[in-house]
Amino acid sequence: MVNRIGHFIGGERVAGTSGRTADVFDPNTGTVQAQVDLASTDEVAHAIEVAAAAQVEWAATNPQRRARVLAKFIALVNDEMEDLARLLSAEHGKTVPDAKGDIQRGLEVIEFATGAPHLLKGEYSTAAGTGIDVYSMRQPLGVVAGITPFNFPAMIPLWKAGPALAAGNAMILKPSERDPSVPMRLAELFVEAGLPAGVLNVVNGDKEAVDALLHHEEIKAVGFVGSTPIAEYIYSTATANGKRAQCFGGAKNHMIVMPDADLDKAADDLVGAGFGSAGERCMAISVAVPVGEETANALVEKLRTRIDKLRVGHCHDADSDYGPLVAASAKERVLDYIEVGEKEGADLVVDGRDLVVEGYEDGWFVGPTLFDRVTTDMRIYQEEIFGPVLSIARVDEYEEALRLANEHEYGNGVAIFTRSGATARDFAARVNTGMVGVNVPIPVPIAYHTFGGWKRSGFGDLNQHGPDSFRFYTKTKTVTQTWPAGEAGESAGSSFVIPTMD
């Protein structure tokens, strides 16, 4: 019998009532391993009602006690790390070590959020005017929503939930219906850690659930990670309905390789950053930009040697460097892009289309694919492939490499490999991208800095995690106060002049 996954509302798992479901697949075999209920508008409204009722008491709980719940949650997740990683891996297809990294990067933001007592402190000015003090306080928004993607089913939900809950909000989490089991279990662990029932609810669903969140007046803020068209839709719809929104979309991350770079390190890092998790990362390197023909020729040869040694296989196989893509449609899309690249005239150095994993012939595997001499007018350069496909775009000069990164419509992450501090400093200052790596291929910032892309990779003024996350999930109230110095009944009379602090 196929496992049925419902929702998590009011501190417990509940069955869906919409009558609609979606299949949850094993990407290694292409077979159905579970069915997930898809929430109706009414079910989402019920979850929001439960969250709004629970939020009042949670907001009144002091930040230190809220932080203790998060600290207990971290311990519970670490106790279950192996089981959670294997569960995540089985639904997504990433390897177990990669799944552990997914969970760990989420926990790092929970660790940061335990600093809520400090992060929520306001400001105080004594004697701002004669006998007048001014102070500010940060208060929760109320009920907020997180709409999160399939490729990081633990990390992104935790990036959203940690700061939101620590700040005193209640949250409705709408994870991807492709791999919903880990978000459901994380919600249970929050309750086991002491989070009051109803403060965090998980509703599984599709566009109907998303639209219900975007249009419900009780939802005060929406955080999203996914493709750019959907990010733009969610941002515009949420803001049109008076909600705060931070929405992060697609990417086409460039890695500039200068002639003075350590090419062995560059090649090693490119293989990991380009093909890890089957390329299903918004921070994956998908375009390498070697500067100069000599650099390009050497880099391509080093990449070819390393790619030939990669092992693609079942996600639970300890020898696998990466596993299958998440869905049959994802595999089809990647294969289509490889065909497009051939037709557009790029040099197909390594072709991953014929890969077959013995014993898993129906799995959604695509081998590592390398294109050389890719030009900016090609679709494989312009569009996000989201698969194990790496393109080499050769340039003659540094300024041309910088221009490629600056002119691309996406601006999520970028990297430069060089031994020159001056070049690296110039690049970091001038590149039009939200996150920059210097000899670091995937520049995902640590939890107490902020994560966010520019251009069509990000919509909204505030980024994920770091101090921005607490700004996003709170509103600032400013109090100006004075106390009468004279006896009761004394009056200085009315003033009709705008108050000043002279």
% helix / strand / coil in the chain, to the nearest 5? 40, 25, 40
DSSP of 135-146: EEEEEE-SEEEE
Cβ atoms 70, 107 nearer than 8 A: no
Instruction: Answer yes or no: 247 catalytic.
Output: no
Choosing from 96, 109, 282, 326, the catalytic residue is 282
CA distance 83 to 28: 18
Ordered DSSP codes for 144-196: EEEE--SS-TTHHHHHHHHHHHHTT-EEEEE--TTS-HHHHHHHHHHHHTTPP
d(CA 345, CA 333): 19
The answer for residues whose C-beta is within 8 angstroms of residue 470's C-beta and 6 or more apart is 116, 119, 120, 138, 163, 166, 167
CA-to-CA distance for 248 and 230, rounded, in angstroms?
Answer: 9
245 SS3 class: strand
Question: 203 near 216, Cβ under 8 Å?
Answer: no
Backbone angles phi, psi at 330, to 5 degrees: -65, -45
Reported as type and span, the H/E element at residue 252 is none
Using CA atoms, how far apart are residues 207 and 42, in angstroms rounded to an integer?
A: 14
Instruction: Report which DSSP code applies to 381.
Output: H
Phi, psi of 353, deg, nearest 5: -70, -25
Nearest to 405 by CA among 389, 427, 423: 427
What stretches of 292-355 show up as alpha helix (H) in DSSP? 293-307, 328-344
Burial of 97-136, coded b for 16+ CB within 10 Å and e otherwise, reads: ebbbbbbbbbbbbbebbbbbeebbeeeeeeeeeeeeebee
Task: Map residue 243 onto helix, strand or coil.
Answer: coil
Q: Could you tell me if 443 and 435 are in contact, meaning their C-beta atoms sit under 8 angstroms apart?
A: yes
Spatial CB neighbours of 175, under 8 Å, sequence gap ≥ 6: 148, 153, 157, 183, 202, 204
Active centre residues (catalytic):
282
